[in-house]
Amino acid sequence: MPRTPREVTDAELSVLEVLWDNGEATVRQLAERLYSGGGTSQNATVQKLLERLESKGCVRRNRESWPHLFRAAVDRSELIGRHLQSMADRLCNGSIEPLLTHLVQSRDLSTAERASLRELLDDPDTGRMIHE
């Protein structure tokens, strides 16, 4: 994993989710999607969120187009990994076992989810995520 940036806020995560769903977007497109209708103050808010995400290495800006197009520089599974490892480091002395145990025991897993987890444990290089 590349360097772990500061935590991504809920507002920043909302921007990333739109970018993951749409591939790329302008500030205006993001503001319209996130704030239904957008507007000058919403555009400024989205611009600030994008600047923070860019400084964290989570977003890339295409400066060759106008208006600039933004796209996610980190995929969802990588961000999940960063956050889980950060949480494991803070709460469990780096061990992911307590986190995984809690996640597995805290909800009913479908037969397919259990099979997928068994496969992943048997062959971690499969790289398959259950709900990506």
CATH number at residue 63: 1.10.10.10
Domains in the chain: how many in total? 2
Q: How far apart are CA 122 and CA 118, in angstroms?
A: 6
Question: What is the reported pLDDT for 61?
Answer: 95
Domain that holds residue 100: 76-126
- Torsion sign over Cα 32, 75, 79, 127: positive
**Strand ranges inside 64-120, DSSP E:** 69-72
Please say whether the beta carbons of 129 and 73 come within 8 A: no
128 pLDDT tier (thresholds 50, 70, 90): low
Q: How far apart are CA 47 and CA 124, in angstroms?
A: 38
Tens digit of each residue's pLDDT (9 = 90 or more) over 65-124: 899 999 999 999 888 888 888 888 889 998 888 888 888 888 888 899 888 888 888 887
6 has a pLDDT exceeding 80: no
Question: Is 4 within a domain?
Answer: no
Return the top range by mean pLDDT from 1-15, 46-60, 103-117: 46-60
pTM exceeds 0.75, yes or no: no
